[in-house]
């Protein structure tokens, strides 16, 4: 059986995608080449991890155009050995104008184009829906992040045989390995050493953007403290550069209960904090941080705002809660439901882990990705 050449072009290769690309590159029947930039304008705190993998190239510097409204990755060209039935996987964003010559070259050679990425922008409207329909019309396959997005595309009238979804995942193996090493006395000693014993730990792990309101967590903590509920708030991510967060914590009388750990990427380093927490608190748009927390069996409390497609994994009352965005009282109520009821916490934790094991595993994501590539290849080979 003929191997399919696959060229994947992405903005960057972040740490959470390494497992996916490595498994695709080692898959029988696929010859994978991955092209990306080391960094891209307007992608703060996100860059490619260094990789010595023979299938990956980071020699494609990215330039912003028109105030970063559009982007151009340099030195990109369609693999000269690719032909009919091979597959080009592109980042599903029309901002990357450098994709246009690649698409043109792919069409001329009979290479199938897979448009991979978010199904909808944060500000969805009729014009953008029309653009999405046009994109599906002209590509061999549209690969979305979740089954929920796929169903929405069907409602737009897009042909179902071109629609696929990965159910966006992360590599859970490093998490499972880290959990295995942080058990029993070692974890107890860690909690004692870090001042977590006797407190309920609330965890935030993710990028800190203008859309993430960490101060509302402080306000809810202060409210719980007045009722004798002692919490700790641990923040994994970029530090508070101007000190505004800690100033607000001091005003609310909870500064001693806040820990800013900075950015972390090693699961062995992160694991004891996740395993010591009662829940993940995410006061803003959430993405893969939700899947990350669920693999630790950590329930999530998330604002009811616009989110990334991964929010499809959160089921209110089953593996976490939504709270009314901007409402510190409602957030405090949801926190209390978890920290005051051990049985509720155990139930949410069990369901969180079940959710990702059944629907958001890396094994499942790789299988779905490969199925999309194979379908795109067959579509192109079936053309006269």
Phi, psi for residue 65 in degrees, rounded to 5: -125, 145
On whether both 161 and 248 belong to a single domain, the answer is no
On whether both 119 and 162 belong to a single domain, the answer is yes
Distances in whole angstroms, Cα of residue 293 to Cα of each of 205, 298, 320:
9, 5, 11
Q: Which residue has the higher pLDDT, 265 or 109?
A: 109
On whether both 368 and 297 belong to a single domain, the answer is no
* pLDDT of 33 over the 50 cut: yes
SS3 62: strand
Instruction: Look up residue 52 and give its DSSP letter.
Output: -
103-131: pLDDT as tens digits: 999 999 999 999 999 888 777 788 888 98
On whether both 220 and 348 belong to a single domain, the answer is yes
On whether both 354 and 365 belong to a single domain, the answer is no
The Cβ of residue 156 has, within 10 Å, a number of other Cβ atoms equal to: 14
Q: Does pTM surpass 0.95? A: no
On whether both 181 and 315 belong to a single domain, the answer is yes
DSSP H or E stretch at residue 302: strand 300-303
Mean pLDDT of the chain: 93
On whether both 292 and 178 belong to a single domain, the answer is yes
Confidence of residue 100 (pLDDT cuts 50, 70, 90): very high
In this prediction, residue 384 carries a pLDDT of 43
* pLDDT of 310 over the 70 cut: yes
Q: Which residue has the higher pLDDT, 125 or 304?
A: 304
Q: Could you give the CA distance from residue 69 to residue 228 in angstroms, rounded to a whole number?
A: 49
* pLDDT of 58 over the 50 cut: yes
Question: Hey, which residues does 281 pair with through a beta bridge?
Answer: 301
On whether both 262 and 365 belong to a single domain, the answer is no
In this prediction, residue 363 carries a pLDDT of 93
How many domains does the structure of the chain reveal? 2
What is the residue range of 124's domain? 4-169+361-381
On whether both 367 and 271 belong to a single domain, the answer is no
Q: What is the mean pLDDT of residues 333-353?
A: 95
131-168: pLDDT as tens digits: 899 999 999 999 999 999 999 999 999 999 999 999 98
CATH of the domain at 17: 3.40.50.2000
On whether both 67 and 48 belong to a single domain, the answer is yes
On whether both 118 and 177 belong to a single domain, the answer is no
On whether both 15 and 153 belong to a single domain, the answer is yes
CA proximity to 260, closest of 284, 279, 276, 236: 236
């Amino acid at each position: 059986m003929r191997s399919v050449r696959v060229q994947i072009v992405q903005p960057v290769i972040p740490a959470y995608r390494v497992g996916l690309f490595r498994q695709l590159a080692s898959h029988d029947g696929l010859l994978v080449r991955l092209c990306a930039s080391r960094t891209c304008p307007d992608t703060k705190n996100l860059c490619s991890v260094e990789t010595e993998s023979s299938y990956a190239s980071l020699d494609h510097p990215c330039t912003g155009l028109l105030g970063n409204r559009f982007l151009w990755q340099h030195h990109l060209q369609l693999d000269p050995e690719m032909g009919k039935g091979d597959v080009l996987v592109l980042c599903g964003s029309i901002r990357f104008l450098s994709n246009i010559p690649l698409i043109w070259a792919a069409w001329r050679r009979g290479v199938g184009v897979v448009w991979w990425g978010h199904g909808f922008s944060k500000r969805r409207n009729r014009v953008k829906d029309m653009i999405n329909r046009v994109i599906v019309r002209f590509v061999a396959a549209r690969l979305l992040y979740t089954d929920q997005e796929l169903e929405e595309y069907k409602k737009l009238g897009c042909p179902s045989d071109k629609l696929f979804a990965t159910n966006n995942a992360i590599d859970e193996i490093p998490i499972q390995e880290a959990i295995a090493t942080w058990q029993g006395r070692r974890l107890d000693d860690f909690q004692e050493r870090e001042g977590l014993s006797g407190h309920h730990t609330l965890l935030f792990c993710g990028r800190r953007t203008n859309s993430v309101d960490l101060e509302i967590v402080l306000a809810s903590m202060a409210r719980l403290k007045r009722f004798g509920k002692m919490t700790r708030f641990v923040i994994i991510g970029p530090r508070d550069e101007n000190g505004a967060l800690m100033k607000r914590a001091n005003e609310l009388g909870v500064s001693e209960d806040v820990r800013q750990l900075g950015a972390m990427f090693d699961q062995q380093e992160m694991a004891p904090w996740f395993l010591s927490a009662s829940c993940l608190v995410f006061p803003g748009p959430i993405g893969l941080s939700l899947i990350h927390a669920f693999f630790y069996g950590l329930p999530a409390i998330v604002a009811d705002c616009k989110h990334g497609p991964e929010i499809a994994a959160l089921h209110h009352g089953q593996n976490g809660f939504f709270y009314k965005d901007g409402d510190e009282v409602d957030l405090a109520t949801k926190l209390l439901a978890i920290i005051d009821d051990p049985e509720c916490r155990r139930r949410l934790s069990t369901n969180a882990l079940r959710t990702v094991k059944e629907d958001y595993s890396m094994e499942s994501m790789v299988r779905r990705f490969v199925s999309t590539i194979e379908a795109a290849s067959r579509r192109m080979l079936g053309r006269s």
